[in-house]
Amino acid sequence: MTGATNGHLREITRRTALGALGAGIIGATVASWPRLSGTDIPGRGDNSLSIAIMGTAADAAARQRAIDAFTRLHPEIKVKVQAIQAVDWKDFFTKILTMVAAGTPPDVVYVATEGAQLFAEKLAHPLDEYVRRDAADMAEFFDDVHPSLVEAFMYKGSLYQLPMDWNAANMYYNTTAFTQAGLERPADDWTHLDFRNSLAAMRKARTSDFTPYYWTNRLFGGVVPWLYANDTSFLKETRSAGGEWLWDGFYANDPSRSLRSGGYQWLEPNANDDRVFESFDYLRGLVKDGLGVRPEEGGGSSLVGLFASNRIGTTPAGGYWVQGLHEAGMGESDFDVQFFPRWKTQRHQFGTAGYAIMKTAKDKDAAWEWIKFSSSREAMELIFPNPITTPARRSMVNEQLYAGKGPANWKVFYDTLDRFPTTGPIPAPPQQAAVETALMKNVSLAVSGDERQLKQALASMQRDLELALRRQS
Amino acid sequence: MSTTTRRLAGESGKRQSGKRAVGETTTPDANAPAQHQPTAKSRQSQRWLAWIFLAPTILGMGLFTLIPIVASVVLAFFHWDIISAPTFVGFDNFSEVVQDPTVRVSFLNTILFVVVAVALQLGLALALAIMVQEKMPAWLRVFFRSAFFFPLILSAASVSIFMRYLFNEQFGVVNWFLSLVGIPAVPWLTTPGGSAAVVIFVYVWQNFGFSFLLFIGGLASIPVETYEAASIDGATGWRKHLYVTLPLLSPTTLVASVMAIISALQVFDQPYVLTRGGPGDSTRTAVMVIFESAFQRLEFGQASAIGVLLTLIIMAITAAQFRLSKRFVFYQ
Amino acid sequence: MTTTTDHGLAGHSPRLSEGLPETSPNRRRFSWNFAIRIVLLLIAAALTLGPVLWTLSTSLRSPSESFKLPPSFFPWNPDFTSYGEVFQQLNIFLLVLNSALVTGLIAVGQMVSAAMAGYAFAHLKFRGRGALFSIVLATMMVPVQVTIVPVFMLIRGMGLSDTLLALILPAIPTAFGTFLMRQYFMGLPAELAEAASIDGASPWRTFRSVYAPLAMPGMAIVGILAFNFHWNEFFRPLILTISEQNFTLPLGLVSLQGNLGTGSISVVLAGVVLSMIPALVVFMFGQRALQDGLTAGTGK
């Protein structure tokens, strides 16, 4: 064979190969067109009721049985649940706003306290007319749900969501670590000083590879419970008038009726309050004496693992933690839960979540039917079969839910609301994202230096909060 | 620069015609392209072909980069939250942005970050490239090259996830190693100094491999004869690198540094996942502030104003760099 | 060869000495220089690979043992439960498919468009070439965060919101790729084109028969770099995709971290390890091409 033909041949095979490659790429592109253009996503662009929840496909699938039950009840309403993955609620709301910006907003969104006022102010449609219309059906629901949870979804006299699940910041503790340190189960009304003494005892019993108090730098379960216990907050808390229609209609006989209002308002920063300083100074003391960690920003992703491997003595968390600890291998008697320690008060912090109807929803009546159905005991049992959160219905927080998983004192979860009726939601005005950033970014500095650094951090928090609240958001 | 090296470099340049590493020339007019015999017809058909070939890139860039840039500049004069209609606010966004202490700190952070991270990245990459290119068994060289390149194939987000665990104050591996030599636990992610150090470390850890690869390429294009000539002149060891390698490598260094600076100026993933910009504003970077004001606070006008300012700064830095390079970069 | 002269950085004019450079091939004896160099390189390699090995070994431990100290870097008793968990929590196959489609099409698109534009800038003469090239280069300097909002609105206008195409199309025009290809084409020997034009070939023929067949190594670099960058891209997918059906791998991984501390470290790390695999494969096949391509402008 001569060199010339050889080269010619090579040229031909080369071209064939390149041609085949090009054809392959084009073929693959055409074949995957539905994937590329998103047209293969079921329910996209049709007129079914779209419901956005935070979570994974697995979470959406977990709702399938509830959807089936709903479809049996309302065969005329087609429902599609869209699970939106996000690291935290702030991230989730960003995604919802992106959908609004993209011109494809969902009809119903599962919104937590963090976003309740953002949605109420800008995006959501009030439920008042529906609740009034179906008052007969709703009486049973409100009867089973503590008014504190409902009040968290009141905004300027109107109700925007029905609470579905919630969690208060109680105190989890590792029973082994308590026993090793010679500690008994703390009393219901233990104080912040008792708490500190318990931490010191645990520190003495285990000097390394162990943290008596682990906490995270978040809106929920971070510094806020300590502020609430000390009867203060980083924002000035006021209430708006109104809401009588709801309270008189459904909670007329509730012992805490007189406390209820038309909703919380957070309009001014309060980081320069003396008690805020006092609470931060207490936490700073815990950090300084090696009793508590310096909290990481956006941290907490390893919390379950650390707690389950007996490296943590105490940490604030709510009922949502039980399933995670169980899955991480903790036995039902390895941990327990108690109320958050008392300071000036024993007011707790809680967060709750529920469905909101978007202003842009095409069929608001259908959306309400979904919300009403979801609030029924039947639906809530389908959605919350496990203690991955605390159901809003008192009757569902029962022996059966925690059987074999613990904690022994699961009653603490709902008792928090009954025993301390002033227990309040996470402070989250419509400018929540900016407010949260303003708080979180100053926490680490505040608790991990000297007193001067603490004062500086609180001053800068005050300034950052002022800026955040000034925004028209 | 000594005359000896100039002479050496000049010689090597002649031997090397037609063989050039990618990225050795940078300024648009530094090297004239190959010349064809120009005839009128050929010139016209070249023009046609050029525009056809350029069409996808130019149209795409016009649509997805230039128009958005213009739009971004326009948006900087509006108040807009995506939900309601935009309102014109003149220079309000700019004056607010300039006064916002967080924005100022984040710009300062970005510049400090770029200086430290790029210096470390280039220094490390160059030192390692020189060490790897010297005599050693081939399999060992392949191992080292692959090891240094490896972090580059990971995503910054996942690297930041596991680095977060490694740098945990109580339970992290880094502090455990330090405890072996008696250093008490360092609060890496919760103090301003510590978190800045971690963000820089994680960024450099992941990115030095790219500069390393560019330097390997640059070193390989320096002919062995140059070193032989240098050694005849008596240059050995470090001196050899100082007088021969560095000058001959300066075009590669320019490319590597321009690329490193541009990418460091846009750092987002690492601080976003590692520290969320905290504690305080200690690791908040300029692009993080843009992200936060646009997508968390819905201040799209303000975000655009910050973006416009950042772009102007980047352009100024790059222009300064090219100006400096005219003095210090040595083309073969 | 003495080590003392190695440190004589102060001397400005090199003097003659008997020493040979270490690159000299005909000396085989133990050298301190060599040993120190290898030790330094080994330390650097340990620092780069150590965290990755730790990630791998931790992902292969049960969640309750994930914080084991002293750390172990080798998975002696692998436990795969975390991997099972990843598959349960995430639709890994869909994430990989999405990432592969997005990255693959961007890479191909960049290779083709950059090769064409790079060739035009390198070998074709037209008015405004220098200015246009400068503009193309300048776009590299604009952070993606600056243009993302207008791009988002543009995508909405095109009816491509929350689709993979929204990630692909804006990423195809590439300033860096165009720059690389221009350099690459300019690095090819000029005699090639001269020979062709003496033969009287048209610019198109010159390109097709002379340059196009040689373009592959340069295009491979552009493709590999595009793959590497976009496979790991976080910011644009974070903004431009909404449905998890359209998520790419890095987004899926971050969401594994779970809300309110309910994620498990070994599950997260298992996800990280899984996401490394496809990139590792491309890297193993592409490394040679990448190194050759970046090393020498002429591909053979």
Segment A108-157, tens digit of pLDDT: 999 999 999 999 998 999 999 999 999 998 999 999 999 999 999 999 99
Chain B residue numbers with beta carbons less than 8 Å from the beta carbon of A445 are 192, 279-280
The dihedral formed by the CA atoms of A11, A13, A16 and A18, expressed in degrees to the nearest 10: -70
Q: Which residue of C has its CA nearest to B58?
A: C173
> Exposed/middle/buried for B14, CB within 10 Å: 0-12, 13-18, 19+?
exposed
Q: Output the pLDDT for position C1.
A: 35
More confident residue, C187 or B285: B285
Could you give the residue ranges of the DSSP H alpha helices within chain C?
3-6, 32-59, 81-89, 92-123, 129-138, 144-157, 164-168, 175-187, 190-198, 203-205, 216-231, 235-240, 249-256, 265-295
Radius of gyration of chain B (CA): 24
Identity of the amino acid at C12: H
Chain C contact present for B231, CB below 8 A: yes
Lookup: tokens for C39: 């030790």
| Number of Cα atoms under 13 Å in the Cβ half of residue A51 | 27
H or E stretch covering A127: none
Chain B contact present for C39, CB below 8 A: no
Chain C residue numbers with beta carbons less than 8 Å from the beta carbon of A306 are 67
| Number of Cα atoms under 13 Å in the Cβ half of residue C14 | 28
Show Cβ contacts of residue A233 under 8 Å, excluding neighbours closer than 6 positions: A224, A227, A266, A270, A276, A427
pLDDT tens, residue by residue, A220-276: 889 999 999 999 999 999 999 999 999 999 999 999 999 999 999 999 999 999 999
Chain B contact present for A140, CB below 8 A: no
Chain A residue numbers with beta carbons less than 8 Å from the beta carbon of B280 are 441-442, 444-445, 457, 460
Rounded to an integer, what distance in angstroms lies between the CA atom of residue A133 and that of residue A448?
54
Chain B contact present for C33, CB below 8 A: yes
Q: Output the pLDDT for position B135.
A: 81
Rounded to an integer, what distance in angstroms lies between the CA atom of residue A313 and that of residue B242?
57
Q: Output the pLDDT for position C7.
A: 35
DSSP state of A392: S
Rounded to an integer, what distance in angstroms lies between the CA atom of residue C271 and that of residue C251?
11
Q: CB count, 10 Å around CB of A57?
A: 17
pLDDT-derived band at C87 (thresholds 50, 70, 90) equals: confident
Rounded to an integer, what distance in angstroms lies between the CA atom of residue A130 and that of residue A157?
15
Q: Output the pLDDT for position A301.
A: 61
Identity of the amino acid at A330: M
Chain B residue numbers with beta carbons less than 8 Å from the beta carbon of A431 are 297
Q: CB count, 10 Å around CB of A343?
A: 23
Q: Output the pLDDT for position A10.
A: 66
Q: Kindly determine whether residue B299 and residue A448, on different chains, have CB atoms separated by under 8 Å.
A: no
Question: Which B residues in the span 260-299 are in contact with C, Cβ-Cβ below 8 Å?
Answer: 262, 265-266, 268-269, 272-273, 286-287, 290-291, 294-295
Percent of chain A topping pLDDT 90: 64
Q: Output the pLDDT for position C19.
A: 34
Rounded to an integer, what distance in angstroms lies between the CA atom of residue A440 and that of residue B284?
13
CB C197 within 8 A of CB C162: no
Q: In chain B, which stretches have pLDDT less than 70? A: 1-39, 234-237, 328-332
Chain C contact present for B226, CB below 8 A: no
Q: Output the pLDDT for position C263.
A: 60
Determine the distance in angstroms separating the CA of A199 from the nearest CA of chain C, rounded to an integer.
22
Rounded to an integer, what distance in angstroms lies between the CA atom of residue C241 and that of residue C247?
6
CA distances from A132 to A109, A246, A250 (A): 21, 8, 10
| Statement: residue A196 has pLDDT above 90 | yes
User: Who among A101, A431, A445 is closest to B280 (CB)?
Assistant: A445
Task: Give the lowest-confidence range in A313-322, A403-412, B150-159, C46-55.
Answer: B150-159
Most confident of A67-81, A144-158, B216-230, C120-134: A144-158
Q: Output the pLDDT for position B325.
A: 75
Substitution target from B285, B297, B299, B302 for chain A, most A beta carbons within 10 A: B297
Chain B contact present for C178, CB below 8 A: yes
CB A245 within 8 A of CB A281: no
Q: Kindly determine whether residue C21 and residue B304, on different chains, have CB atoms separated by under 8 Å.
A: no
User: Within chain C, what is the greatest distance between any pair of CA atoms?
Assistant: 75
Chain B contact present for A294, CB below 8 A: yes
Q: CB count, 10 Å around CB of C212?
A: 15
Q: Kindly determine whether residue B49 and residue C204, on different chains, have CB atoms separated by under 8 Å.
A: yes
pLDDT tens, residue by residue, B108-149: 999 999 999 999 999 999 999 999 988 888 889 889 988 998
Q: Output the pLDDT for position C64.
A: 67
Question: Which C residues in the span 27-56 are in contact with A, Cβ-Cβ below 8 Å?
Answer: none
Chain A residue numbers with beta carbons less than 8 Å from the beta carbon of B292 are 433, 437
| Statement: residue C82 has pLDDT above 80 | yes
User: Who among C3, C122, C151 is closest to B68 (CB)?
Assistant: C151
H or E stretch covering A237: strand A235-239
Rounded to an integer, what distance in angstroms lies between the CA atom of residue C71 and that of residue C54?
8
Q: Is A280 helix (H, G, I), strand (E, B) or coil?
A: helix
Q: Output the pLDDT for position A377.
A: 93
Chain B residue numbers with beta carbons less than 8 Å from the beta carbon of C270 are none
Backbone angles phi, psi at B187, to 5 degrees: -80, 75
Alpha-carbon A92 to chain mean position: 11
CB C75 within 8 A of CB C56: yes
User: Who among B21, B43, B239 is closest to C125 (CB)?
Assistant: B43
| Statement: residue A2 has pLDDT above 70 | no
| Statement: residue C25 has pLDDT above 70 | no
Rounded to an integer, what distance in angstroms lies between the CA atom of residue B119 and that of residue B130?
16
Q: Kindly determine whether residue A294 and residue B187, on different chains, have CB atoms separated by under 8 Å.
A: yes
Rounded to an integer, what distance in angstroms lies between the CA atom of residue B262 and that of residue C140?
8
Q: Is 0.80 topped by the overall pTM?
A: yes
DSSP state of A47: S
Determine the distance in angstroms separating the CA of B272 from the nearest CA of chain C, rounded to an integer.
10
Chain A contact present for C5, CB below 8 A: no
Backbone angles phi, psi at B87, to 5 degrees: -125, 140
Substitution target from C259, C264, C267, C272 for chain A, most A beta carbons within 10 A: C259
Rounded to an integer, what distance in angstroms lies between the CA atom of residue A107 and that of residue A367?
7
Q: CB count, 10 Å around CB of B35?
A: 12
Q: Kindly determine whether residue A444 and residue B278, on different chains, have CB atoms separated by under 8 Å.
A: yes
| A349-358 and A165-168 beta bridge pairing | antiparallel
pLDDT tens, residue by residue, A53-66: 987 777 777 788 88
Q: Which residue of C has its CA nearest to A31?
A: C101
Chain A contact present for C152, CB below 8 A: yes
| Statement: residue C192 has pLDDT above 80 | no
Q: Kindly determine whether residue B237 and residue C202, on different chains, have CB atoms separated by under 8 Å.
A: no
Q: CB count, 10 Å around CB of A333?
A: 11
| Statement: residue C262 has pLDDT above 80 | no
Mean pLDDT of chain A: 89
More confident residue, C243 or B25: C243
H or E stretch covering A213: strand A211-213
User: Within chain B, what is the greatest distance between any pair of CA atoms?
Assistant: 78
Question: Which B residues in the span 94-123 are in contact with A, Cβ-Cβ below 8 Å?
Answer: 100-102
